[in-house]
Structure 1
């Protein structure tokens, strides 16, 4: 397989694995020890040759084969496998998509009400109190305008990434833990990140 094709396959697999495993670009960077720049350059197609040590760290993080991540289409493979699985018939949850500029004024509304007044996307997983936040501004080094963050609203006890609203700057940010500070309003846990608002 041509090196460029291998890099394209690697890029597509990383995007799919991030989405399907409930990870984010930030969690991949933090856990694998790779820099954000390295991950972004691969995902944006700016790299033709990816170092073997980098590929090894990425495949180790996702628990997949080092050789397969550059040569096999994981999404296609898992769709075929899941069609024979009992989980293959799980109904997706409808999730209302709220634009970033409308988020704060809609935070107190119930999901049922939001589902009627906003466009919907679908989340494949156990979902309760889940919203989609369509970013209209970049979150520095993490997400870009047009990305869709799937968020479980409210505070939780785990250490996952939190989407938060910074009252002083009136901008969204992602925190790696609950930040007890009056200048931040925690929106909820980021449970999935979709590039450029792609819907399932």
Structure 2
């Protein structure tokens, strides 16, 4: 990316971040230690080469990486991820809670159906296709009965923790190995959050 393009992207991202996060130029200046003139000059396009230290202070204030703030269209990304509305509010996702013993029979159902028929909890973050699995048995050395696991349903080929069900032993287990459904194993999905009982 050329300097002017980076500066234009930086300018539009700062404007978007100020608006979407409910900030002002003044609150940005006060928190980042930058002068109003510096911010004003960037937003008015009077600076072609913004110092890296300035970009770092701005990106740190908004919680984005300094590479992103210069190269990624953050508004477009947020709309795609639906994590931040244009007004800057993020609603938690409703997550149906399914008891471990009812899990196998409910896995094929859509989230909309499960939300209407099961108790709910809420997940603050960007994700879809979430269920809460209420453990009724301990998972050896990891979780206890009564713990709630927030799981993103589906097969994911990554090295994050996944919840799976052993059809032979009829017990849940956690693995980081890439795995797929088989005659003996049913992959529930990626564990997004653990909530411990008591």
Tell me whether 1:190 sits opposite 2:191 in the alignment: yes
Q: Structure 1 CA distance, aligned partners of 2:143 and 2:120?
A: 21
Q: Structure 1 CA distance, aligned partners of 2:158 and 2:122?
A: 24
- 1:106 is aligned to 106
Alpha-carbon contact 1:178-1:186 (below 8 Å) kept: no
- Tell me the TM-score normalised to structure 2 length: 0.53
Q: Structure 2 CA distance, aligned partners of 1:165 and 1:88?
A: 39
- 1:173 is aligned to 173
Q: Structure 1 CA distance, aligned partners of 2:97 and 2:87?
A: 25
Q: Secondary structure at the match of 1:196?
A: coil
Structure 2 vs 1, CA of residues 140 and 126 (structure 1 numbering), >3 Å: closer, same or farther? Answer: same
Q: Which runs of 5+ in 2 are unaligned?
A: 1-85
CA RMSD, Structure 1 to Structure 2 (Å): 1.9
Q: Structure 2 CA distance, aligned partners of 1:196 and 1:138?
A: 12
Q: Structure 2 CA distance, aligned partners of 1:133 and 1:144?
A: 12
Superposed CA deviations along residues 155-192 of structure 1, whole A, max 9, x for unmatched, are 01221111000010011000112224532110000010
Superposed CA deviations along residues 143-164 of structure 1, whole A, max 9, x for unmatched, are 0000000000000122111100
Q: Structure 2 CA distance, aligned partners of 1:173 and 1:111?
A: 22
Q: Structure 2 CA distance, aligned partners of 1:170 and 1:122?
A: 28
Q: Secondary structure at the match of 2:152?
A: strand
Q: Structure 2 CA distance, aligned partners of 1:136 and 1:161?
A: 19
Alpha-carbon contact 2:157-2:179 (below 8 Å) kept: no
Structure 2 vs 1, CA of residues 91 and 182 (structure 1 numbering), >3 Å: closer, same or farther? Answer: same
What aligned pairs does 1:1-200 form with structure 2 within 5 A after superposition? 89-180=89-180, 181-196=182-197
Greater relative contact order (Cα < 8 A, sep 6+): 1
Q: Structure 2 CA distance, aligned partners of 1:195 and 1:131?
A: 16
Return the index of the structure with the highest Cα Rg.
2
Q: Structure 1 CA distance, aligned partners of 2:167 and 2:177?
A: 17
Say how many residue pairs are matched: 112
Q: Secondary structure at the match of 1:89?
A: coil
Q: Secondary structure at the match of 1:158?
A: coil
Q: Which runs of 5+ in 1 are unaligned?
A: 1-85
Q: Secondary structure at the match of 1:187?
A: strand
